[in-house]
Amino acid sequence: MNLTLASFAALLALGMVTTVSHAEERSLNKAAIIGAPVAEVWKAWTTSEGIQSFFAPEAHVEARPMGKFWIYFNPYAAPGLKGADDMIVLAVQEGKMISFTWNAPPHLPEARGQRTYVTVRMKALSDKETEVTLFHGGWGDGGQWDDTYKYFDGAWGRVLSNLQKRFTEQKPIDWAPFLERLKAQAAK
């Protein structure tokens, strides 16, 4: 259905609503096959220990609506600059989906004050394989929004690769060397 501005205004005046098929929301969509049962992948995304096994060295996760989803990439940074500070869980479907707010990294302060959202879905492909899809939406346009979009286009791929590696190698990521470098930088 092609709508002119005048016909759209007329529909609104009559209280009618229509679907607009040409509107497209900018988003990031990533997917990976993880060599683990869906229950294990679910725990990796929805517990503090699970997040620390592949995503970041420190986390505080409460997998319930309005629960914490705090992911600290730099635990030595000042409050508010540690990573995904003060993010919250938006929705949970046990064993299948978690959605949470997200922010830009500290080096992109104009976009950091805004919030986007991420939805991670898990689907069992077999008793030993899980498909994980990640959707990141809520983007603005221009300036640091574009820089943030580009940053996460790469970052989410690395996160999913780390998740694969965590299960392929059957052990969590060793954050000790990374944390030592951060600690040394913080001491300077």
- DSSP E strand stretches across 15-107: 28-34, 58-61, 69-72, 83-84, 89-93, 97-102
How far is 67 from 111, CA to CA, in rounded Å? Answer: 23
Q: What is the pTM of this model?
A: 0.87
Residue 10: what pLDDT? Answer: 60
Instruction: Determine the average pLDDT of the residues in 131-144.
Output: 98
pLDDT classification of 180: cutoffs 50, 70, 90: very high
CB contact at 8 A, 138 and 103 = no
How far is 46 from 42, CA to CA, in rounded Å? Answer: 6
Instruction: Determine the average pLDDT of the residues in 25-41.
Output: 98
* pLDDT tens digits, one per residue of 61-78: 999 999 999 999 999 999
* pLDDT tens digits, one per residue of 112-126: 999 999 999 999 999
> Is the predicted pLDDT of residue 49 greater than 90, yes or no?
yes
Instruction: Determine the average pLDDT of the residues in 162-171.
Output: 97
Residue 186: what pLDDT? Answer: 86
* pLDDT tens digits, one per residue of 147-164: 999 999 999 999 999 999
List the domain boundaries for the chain: 27-171
How far is 20 from 12, CA to CA, in rounded Å? Answer: 13
Give the chain's mean pLDDT.
92
CATH of 27-171, one of 3.40.50.1980, 3.40.30.10, 3.20.20.105, 3.30.530.20: 3.30.530.20
